[in-house]
Amino acid sequence: MILCAATVLGATLLALPLVQPQRDGTVPSPGQVARISGTVTIGIDDPQPVRRAIVSALGRSRGLSFDALTDEMGRFDLHGLPAGKYSVTVARPPHVGVAFGASRPGWPGTPIDLAPGEHVDGVQLRLVSGAVLTGTVRDEAGRPLPEVEVWVERRDATGTFARGSTAATDADGIYRAFGLPAGYYRVSARPNGSGMELHVSSDADNDAALRILESGGRQWPSGRVTSSTSEGAGRAGVVPVYHPAAVLPEDARPIILSAGEEASGVDVELRPRTSPLVSGQLVSSLPIPLTNAFLTLTRFGSSVGSASARTSGEGAFSFGRVPPGRYFVLGRVMRPERLSSLLSPGAVPTVTSWGPEPCGVVAYEIELGESDIPPLQLGVEPCFRVIASIENIGNLPESDAPLTVSLGVVAEAGGLGRSRVFTASLGSPEAPQIELAGGGELVPGKYYLDAVISAPHSREWVIDSASVDGRDILDDAQLFGRSAGDVLVKVTVSKRATLLSGVLETGDARPAPDYTIVAFPAERSYWQGTFRRVRITRPSTSGHFELTGLPAGEYFLAAVRDVAPDEWRDPAFLEEIAPMALKVSITVGSTNHQRIRITHGRQ
Amino acid sequence: MLRTPRLISLLRRVVFVAAVAATGVAGPHRIDAGQPTQPAVGAISGVVSDGVSGRPLLGAVVSLADGRVKVSVHATADSRGRFVFMGLPPSDGYSMSVRRPGYRASDLAVRPPYVLGAALRLRAGEWLRDLPVAMWPLGSITGTVLDEKGEPLVGVPVRVLAALAVAGTTRWAAGPGTRTDDRGTYRIGGLQEGAYVVGVPAVQLLVPASISPSAAAGLPEPALGSTASRPPASGGLTIDTPEGPAVLVIGRYPAPTVAEDGSLLILPPTFYPGVTAFPLATPIDLAEGEHRRSVDFRLQSVPARTVSGRVLGLGTSNRLVARLLPESALGLGAGSEQATGVIAPDGRFTFIGVPDGRYVIDVSAGQSELALGSPHLPGTAGMVGDRYLTFFPTGMGDAYYRTHYLATQNGLVGRQSVEVGASSVRDVTITMTPGAGLSGAVVGEGGQPVADPRVSVEPADADPSRGGQALSRQAGTFAVAGLHEGEYWLRVTATRLRVKSITYRGQDFSNRPFRVQLGDDLSGVQVVMTDEYATLKGVVSAADATTAQVASVVIFPAEPSGWTRFGLTPTRIKTAVVLAGQEYQFAGLPAGDYLVAAVDHSHQYAWQDPRFFPAIAQSAARVTLSWGGTVTQPLSVQTVRLK
């Protein structure tokens, strides 16, 4: 038994004692099912029972899920559970649930250990009042706009905004987003016809046009079709607008919400904005028809396309009017084999199946200001395929469930191509090689391989390596494309999964379930990419924790309170906790058990 | 008691257009340049206004396009509602649409190139001026949903059923829906004038414990729109039933409550003003642009009884679902059930949460419904995933008939009535029997098989309780199975071909539906397609300045038997929107005797109303069309009064 010192850091923002659920002392019999019961309340100073809440227990090992409803007194009873570890959560709109053992909504909780036939009673679950964001969307004349979609985005620990919820404005132009966890938000209104190039006509414009027509003329001196009288004036794009009236997301006024707060007056003024027209032409020396190529314009740092376009016969395209910013133009050029038969009004037929070679990809970065840019000339590069071959070292499992490997290709920088997850089953000789991506699914760039062994074999089997031309791409992104030929990835798996387990205790040898264990490599160069060597876990109610499948190497092991979701992906955070962590060594196939006692803390 | 839904009155629009004409605003008309040196371009201008108040609509977006002459422009209307496009190349095929939030798209909205005769034609040097574009404000219904203790029910679905004139009768179609917010408040917007029933669906979804809960993922649900955020999926509540343990899926509908004795109390489906039987609902007659408030609900929990039993003769179906519907709700589509349950492999099923009443248990591979709104073009049909859809136009906008396939189609159907009283019902037996089927070949006039025909069947009365549009096809043949008894039209389309004849046992079914019973197997149906079809065209003139300037030309069968029960996409009824003075054209018509008339464009879809054809037949022109022939028939716009 090894007792090691570990230091705790981190601020506890909600100082709630973790009430240990009571065990009834029943001697468990093999094969008996277990129970979890308790209450759900809301409010800290004067907790009130909550009826009709849905309490869910998710089994950690087999993924089984069980629900129960609370009664008039807020009590719940989850019964019929097989033995194992369970994460317990609660949902009751419009409130926000806090997982059992978590200090705040959205953070991981403490799993409950259940022995066969055991009854764990006294589990207390909390709800926190959801916050509300409401406001009015108006046009430039101040008139409310109904039926406009509003996006509410919340910032996560890495600083990225993700869409939390959407709402639509009512007849009075008012939207309401509710049940929001506390946090940092931005709001945008998304009008119909985004990207459309719109000519905003004034009374004077139309007066002048009608005078020309009455006198027998039929066109403007400039030859333009619409009623704009001066070059560039009145030509605008229908673009999303951020509260209160910003075109660029970085200019949005943020809203900071506390639990249960209602922020009103979060208004958006929606008007067509002067924005550059993005159009151009594809050029290619490859024998590929340039018709019907599908292109997307994706804002740098976003995973969602801002606009899309299809090329016409000579490869010409237009994205319409787009807000200023930095973008990727991405797309693929292939020979369509079959087009959809059901069409929306004015829509171009969608391709439902593609022909084989030839195939081309388009990948460019552009920077847009407010002025129009000259038409783009974009060259088309040949497509490449990513083909994986999987080899196993060792005997395949005897159980009925085949050993499956999930492989995905992950771009190094956001927005530069898609990640496709492919699940391959070992032991099928008819598929010795698997095509992970092909036909222009990826654009040239740097990629990692994301590879995991699927349950139930993930405890014993592990991905040993994945390499391209002898270079590892599990930890080190590799450049794909920019040259003809396929990318061959060799993946090896073996039955040599590591196991790092242990018990976390307080200074007086009691279980310490309200901490988070963070395991991360001592080698700093691994603190990037897919972060596959960084793991976090919460000890269960008995203090036990387990981490399987960590690659061999030297690791830090730290016990920390209050780790926000994704905070462990921040190298600065890892650097801060490294000096206070335990060092462990993991070798291939090793089983490593640690008993860790927390000796002192630091805020 | 639910009275027969009132058909939409369109008289107001006729009066409006006539009044505008009478006050001296010149209707749309053409002006030629007159100067031989003028450029060969033209102009289109007009005014966008609110169809109810008449006020101009500043900011309405007017879009004009014609791909053939490479024009695609969008401009906003000014403070007087005016828009002007100049420098336009001449063309026969301009399409114009107008959009403004809170309004239905303009009546001049046209969809190229599929709606024949609806495009705007502009000649060289011409100015098509003063186009009157009326936009009709959309209305809404709002209210709150509380439980019996007065607490708001959050995130529960609320949806409307709309009275829809279709196939010469009136049916209730699934309309838009939403979910309640944190105050229990809902708002259903985007509603046109019409009659609506507002309801809170509450379907108890049960999955046997031996089956993965993911089987519930395929169970049909009412469409609630993208912004009605769905509660997160959960594993479900384990329930002990007479047929064994099962999982009650919770989160999609109002959750049950747990009584003191641990039993479940459920909130049943409820219709405004608070009834659980659909025929007792009070419809809301919404006027154009009306915002009706305080359409509130106070749901009452009821004890949950079970209905259980076994399905015999399932055959090779997989993942079949049994639906328990109130008798009056058969045909109302997804969300109208009292309960649904996934059938266990041994055929056992259980429904829970069933209050007193009379029900029908439906076990069929396909579940059909009528629904409003679609992004697709009217007249198209096809398979999208596990759903077969047929789109058609109506006075409430585009609608569709959708059949959702819940399992592999093996042509078997099963229905059983059951009455539930004070206690649970057990040992209900449902025996699957073969539905009706049609099969045959699709050939050209020379006898060669037609490649890739699109075949479907449509219930003649558009009744969704008749079931699916099951079909399969291979190289010029087709087979349709699993139909409930009734009358069905067989529809066949192929690229550039039209149906010339549908023959079965020496009789022609191209102009009448098939009548089938359960177990019928009509094989050897011969469909002959032709590329020679009839064309009818002519110029529409307005009688005088008080007559409408925008007309709808409608062509329909001369025989009165063709005026009702014509299914969803009748081949011998067509409409086209034209301006007075312009030419209409219908191509692709089958040969036969027809009546054709021009009426105010606001009646464009009134042909779905059984009163319409009798009202205009007397003054319509009679034409006889032959295969490959063209007939010219001038028309003048007539006034219609629907009694």
pLDDT tens sequence across A46-71: 999 999 899 999 887 666 788 898 98
Report residue A30 CA to chain centroid gap: 41
For chain A, give the number of residues.
Answer: 603
Whole-angstrom distance between the N-terminal and C-terminal Cα of chain B? 23
Question: A161-168 and A149-155 as β-strands: parallel, antiparallel, unpaired?
Answer: antiparallel
Output the CA–CA distances (angstroms, integers) from residue B468 to B161, B172, B333, B456, B480, in the order listed: 21, 18, 12, 10, 9
- Put simply, whether B201 touches A (Cβ < 8 Å) is no
Subunit contact B80:A203, Cβ cutoff 8 A? yes
Least confident of A347-356, B56-65, B218-227: A347-356
For tokens 């959960």, name the residue.
Answer: B234
Closest CA relative to residue B607, chosen from B620, B592, B591, B624:
B620
As a whole number of angstroms, the distance between CA B354 and CA B203 comes to 10
Contacts of B231 in chain A (CB under 8 A): 91, 93
Least confident of A144-148, A539-543, B526-530: A144-148
Output the CA–CA distances (angstroms, integers) from residue B536 to B533, B572, B621, B629, in the order listed: 10, 12, 12, 9
Provide the pLDDT for residue B253.
86
Provide the pLDDT for residue A11.
19
Subunit contact B82:A130, Cβ cutoff 8 A? no
Q: Which letter does DSSP use for residue A399 in this model?
A: S
pLDDT digits (tens, 9 = 90+) for A354-365: 565 667 888 888
Least confident of A475-479, A551-555, B240-244, B553-557: B240-244
Mean pLDDT confidence for B78-88: 93
Provide the pLDDT for residue A338.
53
Nearest residue of chain B to residue A199 (CA atoms): B75
Of all residues in chain A, what percent carry a pLDDT higher than 70? 79
Provide the pLDDT for residue B605.
79
Residues A436 and A387: beta-carbon distance below 8 Å: yes
Nearest to A93 among B140, B231, B256 (CB): B231
Provide the pLDDT for residue A335.
64
Contacts of B375 in chain A (CB under 8 A): 344-345
Provide the pLDDT for residue B235.
62
Provide the pLDDT for residue A600.
60
Provide the pLDDT for residue B207.
84
Element (H, E) at A571: helix A571-577
> Has residue A194 got a pLDDT over 70?
no
E-state strands within A401-461: 404-411, 421-425, 433-437, 445-453
- Put simply, whether A139 touches B (Cβ < 8 Å) is yes
Touching A: B residues 327-356, CB under 8 Å: none
- Put simply, whether B261 touches A (Cβ < 8 Å) is no
Subunit contact B74:A201, Cβ cutoff 8 A? no
Closest CA relative to residue B155, chosen from B224, B62, B57, B212:
B224
Provide the pLDDT for residue A6.
36
Rounded to the nearest integer, the mean pLDDT of chain B is 81
Chain A nearest-CA distance from B121, in A, is 16
Spatial neighbors of A229 by CB under 8 A, at least 6 apart, are: A204, A205, A208, A220
Nearest to A52 among B42, B257, B377 (CB): B257
Between B559 and B317, residue with greater pLDDT = B559
Alpha helices in A174-308 (DSSP H): 203-214
Mean pLDDT confidence for A585-592: 88
As a whole number of angstroms, the distance between CA B116 and CA A447 comes to 52
pLDDT digits (tens, 9 = 90+) for A265-301: 999 998 777 677 888 999 988 777 788 788 888 877 6
> Has residue A157 got a pLDDT over 80?
no
As a whole number of angstroms, the distance between CA A39 and CA B508 comes to 71
> Has residue B118 got a pLDDT over 60?
no
> Has residue A427 got a pLDDT over 70?
no
SS3 A29: coil
Contacts of B234 in chain A (CB under 8 A): 54, 56, 65, 67, 91
For tokens 């699109």, name the residue.
Answer: B454
Between B228 and A437, residue with greater pLDDT = A437
Between B280 and B316, residue with greater pLDDT = B280
Least confident of A122-126, A419-423, B333-337, B603-607: A419-423
Nearest to A218 among B43, B73, B259 (CB): B43
Subunit contact B255:A69, Cβ cutoff 8 A? yes
Provide the pLDDT for residue B108.
52
- Put simply, whether A80 touches B (Cβ < 8 Å) is yes
Closest CA relative to residue B59, chosen from B72, B43, B74, B44:
B74
Of all residues in chain B, what percent carry a pLDDT higher than 90? 38
Provide the pLDDT for residue A486.
84
Alpha helices in B231-345 (DSSP H): none
pLDDT band per the 50, 70, 90 thresholds, residue A333? confident
> Has residue B38 got a pLDDT over 50?
no
Between B34 and B632, residue with greater pLDDT = B632
> Has residue A526 got a pLDDT over 80?
yes
> Has residue B112 got a pLDDT over 80?
no
Subunit contact B39:A219, Cβ cutoff 8 A? yes
Mean pLDDT confidence for B485-500: 90
Subunit contact B87:A206, Cβ cutoff 8 A? no
As a whole number of angstroms, the distance between CA B540 and CA B596 comes to 11
Provide the pLDDT for residue B110.
34
pLDDT digits (tens, 9 = 90+) for B366-379: 788 888 876 555 66
pLDDT band per the 50, 70, 90 thresholds, residue B9? very low
Least confident of A267-276, B45-54, B123-132, B280-289: A267-276
Nearest to A216 among B33, B83, B88 (CB): B33
Contacts of A345 in chain B (CB under 8 A): 111-112, 375, 377
Between B130 and B37, residue with greater pLDDT = B130
As a whole number of angstroms, the distance between CA B83 and CA B59 comes to 10
Provide the pLDDT for residue A9.
31
- Put simply, whether B507 touches A (Cβ < 8 Å) is no
Contacts of B101 in chain A (CB under 8 A): 145-148, 191-192
Provide the pLDDT for residue B34.
43
Output the CA–CA distances (angstroms, integers) from residue A193 to A69, A275, A297, A490, B159, in the order listed: 44, 14, 16, 46, 26
Between A116 and A26, residue with greater pLDDT = A116
Chain B nearest-CA distance from A206, in A, is 6
Subunit contact B78:A80, Cβ cutoff 8 A? no
Nearest residue of chain B to residue A63 (CA atoms): B235
